[in-house]
Amino acid sequence: MSSLPPPRRSQGELRRENAATQLPEILVAVCSRLPEERLTAWQEVLRQSDGPDDPLLDQFTNAQFASGLARQLVEVTRAWRADAPELTGAALELAVAAVRAIPRPSPVQPVISGPIGPATQARLTGGVVLEVIRSARSSLLIATFAAHGVVDGVEEVRKAVGRGVTVDLLLEESTGASAAFTRLPDEVRVWHRHSAGTGVLHAKLIAADRHTALLGSANLTDRALSDNIELGVVLRGTEAVGPLVDHFRWLTSPGSGVMSRV
């Protein structure tokens, strides 16, 4: 006896099923990308929202300047509307909180300067520089070939010193990089390479403690953080960041003969 074929599902049912599989993935992607303070702000907006058509969601989305982020937030709203429009924002906020509570490895985040496409999922260098500096609680290590015109960045370094962070600046003096930091407190340790027997310091690194690092092509200059075509990555976790910090600590150690304190 032949079995009856399964009943055909409507297009609406198929769309809802597809959205049900998409929404969790989209939530995880957004939570993995947003920094902690912006995730908290997004949760507050969700908590105040009545549903996927609440204008508060559009206001928050339109205020995001990171490349591709607004598109991801729009995808969340679309999947929410298609799958469970009866859910309140508070209910979706609980889902976001659950995602944040699950320990998971942080993905490498691309960071760019210069022209960006509407679908590019990367963060902007200037904002990431400030975020990494602000995240330092005990130590901050900055290496750059050139530096000028980064008033906001220098101010964040000054604030880091004020909250007790030990700051080391490894600078290429042939470019006059140290001039950008002359107004910082005396507690900041500035290092230059020895002129004899070593190549130029061309590395660009900002490492907060041993948990977060920005590694890329951009110098700490106004053009490199905004106009130039630059590329970098944000690394998180001691397994990835620790060896980078250890290498630069060795460069400044007396036994290396590479860097000396000014």
Checking if the pLDDT of 9 tops 80, the result is: no
Tokens 């300067």 map to which residue? Answer: 113
**What is the CATH T-level fold of the domain 109-261, as seen in this structure?**
Endonuclease; Chain A (3.30.870)
**CB-CB contact of 206 with 141 (8 Å):** yes
Give the pLDDT confidence of 37-55 residue by residue, as tens digits: 788 899 999 999 999 999 9
21 DSSP 8-state letter: H
Mean pLDDT of 25-39: 81
Residue-by-residue DSSP string for 28-47: HHHHHHS-HHHHHHHHHHHH
Burial per residue of 42-65, b for 16 or more beta-carbon CB atoms within 10 angstroms, e otherwise: bbebbbebebbebeebeebbeebe
**CB-CB contact of 141 with 242 (8 Å):** no
Checking if the pLDDT of 7 tops 80, the result is: no
Give the pLDDT confidence of 231-248 residue by residue, as tens digits: 999 998 888 999 999 999
Predicted pLDDT of residue 14: 46
What CA–CA distance (Å, rounded) separates 198 from 49? 59
Checking if the pLDDT of 173 tops 60, the result is: yes
Tokens coding 90: 């508070």
Least confident interval from 37-41, 129-133, 179-183, 246-250:
37-41
Residue 16 backbone phi and psi in degrees, to 5: -65, -40
Going by pLDDT thresholds of 50, 70 and 90, the confidence category of residue 196 is low
Checking if the pLDDT of 10 tops 60, the result is: no
Checking if the pLDDT of 198 tops 80, the result is: no
Mean pLDDT of 109-132: 88
Average model confidence (pLDDT) across the chain = 87
Return the higher-pLDDT residue of 7 and 157. Answer: 157
Going by pLDDT thresholds of 50, 70 and 90, the confidence category of residue 33 is confident
What CA–CA distance (Å, rounded) separates 198 from 257? 9
Checking if the pLDDT of 34 tops 90, the result is: no
Give the SS3 label for residue 190: strand
Residue 169 backbone phi and psi in degrees, to 5: -115, 115
